[in-house]
Copies of this chain bind each other. A is one copy, B any other.
């Protein structure tokens, strides 16, 4: 199987590449080549198959065609400008999130056979707020440019699948926790921050109250969903290529209880509640629960509980995050 990862330099792209390198196969078929594409030359893991690294602009059709060579079986399209950046710079978001997906379609249409495309869409494409339980056929009425661009990408790939140009599965990722690295300007930054920072021994603030709920998944589970989407039978999807995967609806209070079990009372004591009405206004529009019935029936596995999420961070990312923070 020849595989391409667009956005291979990002947090999830690196984890996915490492997993493919480690497994050497996908659903019993050997990986025979992997292309890693990102704006800068992405890091490559050690692997038992050849890895190409292609730097380029996702909105440049020629560059994307170079990253998706003849014979490509699977494309993971993770390249994106995230929510806060797409909101701050509309043109950048449109360029990367919409024109990038159009460039992907162009490249796929040049191939001899339609590749499977796994597209990372987002819960940010939905509204509804804290009280909502989003059904599988819930309408996407995004309150942010990132979500609008992702919903447009879904429509494009759904129609391109119907036309036989490619074979898409769009996974609407929950908020991924625990993100390694530093706090960023995303409104959702605190969700990872309130567990990551205390586990690093640092104080942090929480801008919302303990009852605030989010729809979350771990990086490990996101990668599992990508791999399942890469080889699943798409015939049962019909027209509808959008998947609301079975994430975890969890409150800030439950995350802090898990933090105490994993890191002790001293870790939990490092979280200071400091209400921030600006952040609360943004994040209160996000739905915190999805039915996800269809995804379960299609074989997407259930996100584990909060404690397992924190333990995965300790096992996978704490050391690297600590090292990165120490060198800056």
Identical chains bound together, number: 2
A151 at the interface (CB under 8 A from B): yes
Per the bound structure, the CA–CA distance linking A144 and B159 in Å amounts to 7
Q: Give the residues from 120 to 156 in chain A that come closer than 8 angstroms, CB to CB, to chain B.
A: 127, 137-145, 148-149, 151-152, 155-156
Per the bound structure, the CA–CA distance linking A5 and B156 in Å amounts to 27
For residue A30, which residues in chain B have a CB less than 8 angstroms away from its CB? none
Per the bound structure, the CA–CA distance linking A2 and B144 in Å amounts to 30
The answer to whether A143 and B239 touch across the interface, beta carbons within 8 angstroms, is yes
The answer to whether A163 and B90 touch across the interface, beta carbons within 8 angstroms, is yes
The answer to whether A159 and B145 touch across the interface, beta carbons within 8 angstroms, is yes
Interface residue count for A (Cβ, 8 Å)?
24
A240 at the interface (CB under 8 A from B): yes
A158 at the interface (CB under 8 A from B): yes
A162 at the interface (CB under 8 A from B): yes
Given contacts A139-B137, A143-B162, A163-B145, contact A239 B152 (CB under 8 A): no
The answer to whether A148 and B158 touch across the interface, beta carbons within 8 angstroms, is yes
The answer to whether A141 and B156 touch across the interface, beta carbons within 8 angstroms, is no
Per the bound structure, the CA–CA distance linking A140 and B148 in Å amounts to 14
The answer to whether A142 and B127 touch across the interface, beta carbons within 8 angstroms, is no
22 residue pairs A–B, Cβ–Cβ below 8 Å:
A90-B163, A90-B165, A127-B239, A137-B139, A139-B139, A141-B239, A141-B240, A142-B155, A142-B158, A142-B159, A144-B159, A145-B163, A148-B155, A148-B156, A148-B158, A148-B159, A149-B159, A151-B155, A152-B152, A152-B155, A152-B156, A155-B155
Which positions in A face B, CB cutoff 8 Å? 90, 127, 137-145, 148-149, 151-152, 155-156, 158-159, 162-163, 165, 239-240
